[in-house]
Amino acid sequence: MTNTKSSSVPFPAADDDFRAARLRCAMACQMYNQMPENATVEHRSRLWRNIVTTGSITPPCEDELEDIAAGRNTNSPFSKGAPYVKPPVYIDYGTMLQVGASTFINRNLTISDTPILPIKIGERCLIGPNTSIYAVGHPLDYRERGGPLGAPSLASSVTIEDDCWVGGSVVIMPGVRIGRGCVIGAGSVVTKDVPPEHLAYGNPARVIRRLVEDITESEHVQHQQISPVRLSPGSDASVTAMVDPTATGTTTPPPSTCSSCACSSVLTPLPASSPVSFGWSLPSFIRRFPLTQYCLLQALLLFISLILLVYRFA
């Protein structure tokens, strides 16, 4: 995990324009949260687009809200390409919020966002219930905060890349970037960046391990493994062996070059009748006997040795 060093941008959240933007988003969230469970995809999409619209920072009038809910507002570029977000949701501004259309977000999503820097949630993400994403901070020095009305707010960006799974009741702090394919355990507080394809959990969250093995390494190791070979009765100790392309009397298929991984080796398919090489060999007079006869010979030699020992000490 790396420390989050993203810069914060101060902005006067108490100004009238920002307060009007929050009111507009609050009213849009209220309509979304009142949506029935059996709402159509088009209806759900329209209400979500109303939350994240960038057309106006002022709250729409009551008639305009009804037109938006009914799909009669032709000025808003609504489409079906919206994420599936289960109500209720609580968002401050929504104008810089970007969520992938194939993402699923469970209930009680809270996003403390800003109209200054974006919050991005990628495609095919799963966001658990009661997740909170914070992109707003305040000065640590109480003298700089100056009370609720005059206090400057500090805007930061938050990014959740594609294919992430964020467990329930996770808190994501300002400036955090979660890499692609990550899994964040339930109840975690993410204060630092998480590299792609890693599992992280805890309070504060820490990286536990990598989730996806590097494809190049995986294929390289797989190509280094010896393929199993069929045993042919009567062959010379035909147990699994390495290929000897120069062996006489064998038919070796043409070699194939590995092109799907980083290794530069040439892969030679293993014929069924390939000889065996373990790095050592049996004596030549032994190799002429089948394995069963060799074992019987060893047993006979051991029996004779025992008889000689008994005769000697008798």
Tell me which residues are annotated as active site: 138
* Half-sphere CA count of 151, side-chain side, radius 13 A: 16
Amino acid at 181: G
Dig out the tokens for 120 from the structure: 């991005």
Tokens 């390495």 belong to residue: 242
Triad 123, 129, 132: Cα angle to 5°: 80
In sequence order, what are the residues at sequence separation of 6 or more whose Cβ sits closer than 8 angstroms to the Cβ of residue 83? 48, 99, 100, 101, 102, 103, 104, 105, 121
Cα–Cα separations (whole angstroms), residue 41 to 44, 45, 84, 129: 5, 6, 9, 21
Q: Between the CA of residue 247 and those of 69, 140, 235, 254, what are the distances in Å?
A: 79, 77, 14, 14
With left for phi above 0 and alpha for psi between -120 and 50, is residue 175 left, alpha or beta? left
CA distance 43 to 36: 10
The answer to whether the CB of 91 falls within 8 A of the CB of 97 is: yes
Are 152 and 16 in contact by the 8 Å Cβ rule? The answer is no
Q: Which two tokens stand for residue 64?
A: 């305009």
Query: H/E/C letters for each residue in 90-149?
Result: EECCCCCEEECCCCEECCCEEEECCCCCCEEECCCCEECCCCEEECEECCCCHHHHCHHH
